[in-house]
Structure 1
Amino acid sequence: MPSRTPTALWAQRFTRSPASKTSLQDQIRQMLVAAVLDGQLPPDVALPSSRDLADQLGVARNTVVLAYQMLVEEGYLISRERSGHFVNPEMQRGLPHVSGTAQLAPSAGEEDTEHRPVWRQRIAHPPSQQRNIVKPANWQHYEYPFIYGQFDQSLFPTNDWRECCMKALSIMEIRNWAPDLIERDDESLIQQIRTRVLPRRGVFAKPEEIIITNGCQQALYLIADLLCDEDTTVGFENPGYPDARNIFENRNAQLLSLPVDSNGLAPEALEGELARCDYLYVTPSHQCPSTATMPLERRRALLESAQRHDFVIVEDDYESENTFSGTPHPALKSLDTADRVIYVGSLSKTFAPGLRLGYVVGPSELIRELRALRRLMVRHPVGYVQRAFATFLALGHHDALLRRLAHAYRERSQALMAALDRHLPEARYVPITGGASSWVQGPAWLDAERLATDAQAVGVLIEPGNVFFMNDDAQARRYFRMGFSAIATEKIEPGVRALAQCVHAQQRNA
């Protein structure tokens, strides 16, 4: 007769966490699955009765019964009438520790350190050494999170998104997204982008001129990987988007610093520099990080310069949907008549950044090569997410969300500007007309990196601005960015007040 595991074993393994969002039933299932797959239970061993295990764990007997039933259905356990539940030997077949004892890694003294590769010599350009925007992983635990691009649960359309996910899980829909799409994208999402998203920006494209990506990050990496090498010169806004800068540098491109003013890039003033470019990366809708919007005259001048000097523009349509006027600014791509603009957009930035959905619009010849390159990386973005988001767009949920966000962000931006005027009158900022952040210039003596550290100690998170500049000098260190996508309106004024106290303390100690 198979031996039965001592119930006390499970009481020691089970950690009941009141704060956990996982149900007790699922916690018990996870505990049992781990014990089976880790080889801590011999094959065919008998588990405690549901009553005994429930008593030891301090849970209802039905909770254990349901957990056992689910594990029987999944094949981890076998139910034998009048005998109980037993570990299914088939689940451990082929595991290296079926006897119940896991194989041990060699001890530290047994490691062959002499012949191990020296990775720092093999990695020519370590990405981890690049200057990046840094945000605390536990930012939600801070009282005043003035950080950009994060998720606000109070604005998330939970019921609408759940509805679209459930529709995508129907039998008819599963057959559309479950197969390997190889180089293809979800046709319904491409159609929604063509008919719902792009026309608002004045852009019209054929299906073969659009590719879906894992967010704008992958879109930019694909473009840089395909088009750039050590002989490529890329014009880049300064200050500008650090991740884009790092991507182009990672592909060994030569970056040419192009200053921006209150209206973004000034093509007429930069004619000589633009003539040296093969490509130009630009964020005309809301310049990153200054939030400046490029006027229509400059957009036309930039396109004329691209034709005159034979360079291609990579337009990152940064925050184009987050405009308080209700009418998005025309995209550069909408004015392009000569295929001089590669258009990069995001579907998830304003919705849920964790979904990672972006897209590229460009000539079909370019998109075909981007698809072939994407196949080497990830094949395609998750088909299920593509189909669910296509439904989200088709049912009008995305448009309704944008309207709610515009109202909330307008309210928050007004509260932020009023608080800065009241508590930090010595600071200057770009008036907020859209987007979800404010670019702040402090006094000449301010060290924003030190300010961010001091503010974090009192629960205030801001983003030092020096990382946005190509050169980390004294001028760059006086800037910082304050996002308001993830902070409630009523928290903004007290948060700025606390930040101002840190600024004034730095001034006294300067």
Structure 2
Amino acid sequence: MRDTLIHVERAEGVSLQAQIRERLVSAILAGQFRAGAAMPSTRAMAQRLGVSRNTVMLAYQAMADDGWLAARERSGFYVSQTPPETAAAAEPDAGHAARRPDWAARFHVAPTAQRNIVKPADWRKYPYPFLYGQLDSDLFPLAAWRDCMRQSMARKSFDAWTDDRFAEDDPMLVEQIRQRLLPRRGITARPDEVLVTLGAQNALYLIAQLLVGRETPVAIENPGYADARNILGLASDRVTPIPVDAEGLVVDRLPRAPSLAFVTPSHQSPTSVTMSVARRHALLDWAEAHDGLVIEDDYEFEFNYRGQPTPALKSMDRSDRVIYVGSLSKSLMPGLRMGFIVGPAEFVAEARALRRLMLRHPPGNNQRAVALFLALGAHDALIGRLHRSFAGRWEAMHGALDAHLPGWSQGAVFGGTCFWVRGPEGMDAADLAAEARAEGVLIEPGGVLFADPGPDGEARPTNFFRMAFSSIAEARIPEGVERLALAARRIGAL
């Protein structure tokens, strides 16, 4: 509190005492002064503000009379443990309010108006969190990660991440991506064709800023990745949802004009279907015939533990029309925010220059720690452990859904970390999610993953939802699904 800065204006037209009171009440309401904390002495506050001690004393006493402060004999003033419930005292005077800008009119885009995936921040408190994108911390090799962090702090690596690299990435991390990650997807790339990003979303934002204008036709999967839809929707007024079937994106529905298409071919988000080889060739043929570009989001490339490995779409690209987006969030930790782009050198150069304007480069210490984690084989060991664990969880989820919600699940042959579930027509998955939450079960209603309106003008379906198993122990899955079925019965869906 002693470092909190407030100020008063002698020519403001409001008494100094009233100004001190207003500033302090505003600070209390904003949480800058916690309940029970000692206020600066009247002498110290008077010296800080350049006013008389008596002025501060009168302001403190008025705040005590109103219940904002509590006076203690021979001790001073303290923030009240039970301040008044009204915030009227913190409201600015009418003269100031009239001078505030019209913020709504100033915004050129309004991201808060978009439909987004919302997850409870306290999800770990729930016994059955079937939430996508979170990782069971018990599976993470904390000791190995700690060792990599320690090595990154050693003198040998210190300069690699403490220097300002401006727009450059850690060369060790770029080399590990090229040597360890990309070959598994059938991709070869030069160093100037790789850019490290703060996760896949940062990559998508860079791509949208460089390649998408207000009149650029953009095709997205429907249902699909909500954040990709929102990012591309901020850049273009011509975003078209394209339906997805058992073979992935329906290429025949793509625009017959220079366009950009966003796809998740290896493990379609959220339906989990894998795009067939024939459909992949058709998509590449479309791009070449119509001067189109394809963004490939390979968000779960590490988790093909059930089917045969499928090469990335980028590995089949012969005309530099595919920009590949990869992420380590699903295998390392979501909070690390580490991803990468692989694309033509010309594109990567522009993306690097744009990234420099935004954040220069992802934090160097994280880049070096991840590079060491890959180089020392810790990531390979982690993937093996995750495969074994997720294979068991997949079987448990598949069996439980068949037993308690027969005919609802659409499990992937690929593997992955989630199931796409379709309830009966007329069911509202949001109602089911609310009812299940009372049972300690968290699921994700799928409505937010559909475009509005759909490809043929249809309304968004309400009976789909997603259930992931990456953040829940295998032993808890059957009971969690059983409790979900109980909730479904209560709302009349079973």
Q: In which range does the TM-score fall when normalised by the shorter chain?
A: 0.7 to 0.9
Give the structure 1 partner of residue 383 of structure 2. Answer: 402
Q: Note the alpha carbon deviations across 1:191-239, whole angstroms, 9 max, x for none.
A: 0001111011000000000000000000000000111111100111100
Deviations 1:337-394 (A, max 9, x none): 1101000001232210100001000111110000110011111100000000000000
Distance 1:450 1:182, change over 3 A: same
Does residue 343 in structure 1 map to residue 343 in structure 2? no
**What residue is the counterpart of 1:225 in the other structure?**
209
CA contact (8 A) 1:464 1:479 kept: yes
**Which of 273, 277, 290 in structure 2 is aligned with 1:296?**
277
Percent of aligned pairs with the same residue? Answer: 46
Q: What secondary structure, in the 3-state scheme, does the structure 2 residue paired with 1:229 have? A: coil
Structure 1 counterpart SS, 2:462: helix
In structure 1, the gaps of 5 or more residues are 1-34, 40-91
**Paired letter, 2:98:** E
1:276 to 234, 252, 257: 257
Question: Which residue identity is paired with 1:303?
Answer: L
Question: Number of residue pairs matched?
Answer: 417
- Find the counterpart in structure 1 of residue 491 from structure 2: 506
- Cα distance change of structure 1 residues 427 and 159 upon mapping to structure 2, 3 Å threshold: same
Distance in 2, matches of 1:178 and 1:326, equals 43
Who is 2:295 aligned against? 314
Task: State the distance in 1 between where 2:308 and 2:374 align.
Answer: 18
The 5 Å alignment of 1:39-438 reads 107-110=90-93, 112-267=96-251, 269-270=252-253, 273-325=254-306, 328-438=309-419
Q: Which residue of 2 aligns with 1:444?
A: 425
Over the aligned positions, Cα root-mean-square deviation in angstroms equals 2.5
SS, match of residue 434 in structure 1 = coil
> Contact 1:392 / 1:398 at 8 angstroms: preserved in 2?
yes
The amino acid across from 1:455 in the alignment is A
Contact 1:413 1:432 in 2 (8 A): no
Secondary structure at the residue paired with 1:260?
strand
Per the TM alignment, residue 172 of structure 1 is displaced from its structure 2 partner at its CA by 2.1
> Aligned with 1:507: secondary structure?
coil
* Cα pair distance change 1:285/1:158, threshold 3 Å: same
**Superimposed CA distance per residue, residues 269-301 of structure 1 (whole angstroms, 9 cap, x where no aligned partner):** 33xx34135111000010000010012221122
- What SS does the aligned partner of 1:359 have? strand
Shift of the 196–350 alpha-carbon distance from structure 1 to 2, 3 Å rule, reads: same
Unaligned ranges ≥5, structure 2: 6-43, 61-88
Question: What's the CA shift for 1:139?
Answer: 0.5
What residue identity is the alignment partner of 2:475? Answer: E
**Is contact 2:452-2:460 (8 Å) kept?**
no
1:476 aligns with 2:458: no
Q: CA deviation at 1:320?
A: 1.2
For 2:479 and 2:316, locate their aligned partners in 1 and report how far apart those are by CA, in whole Å: 44
- Matches of 1:255 and 1:158, distance apart in 2: 42
User: How far does residue 310 in structure 1 lie from its aligned partner after superposition?
Assistant: 1.0
Counterparts of 1:179 and 1:428 in 2: how far apart (Å)? Answer: 51
- Structure-1 separation of matches of 2:491 and 2:264: 33
Residues 183 and 379, structure 1, Cα contact 8 Å, conserved in 2: yes
Tell me which moved more, 255-264 or 481-490: 255-264
**TM-score when normalising by structure 2:** 0.80
- Relative distance call for 1:484 and 1:107 in structure 2 (3 A) is closer
Change (3 A) 1:318 1:456: same
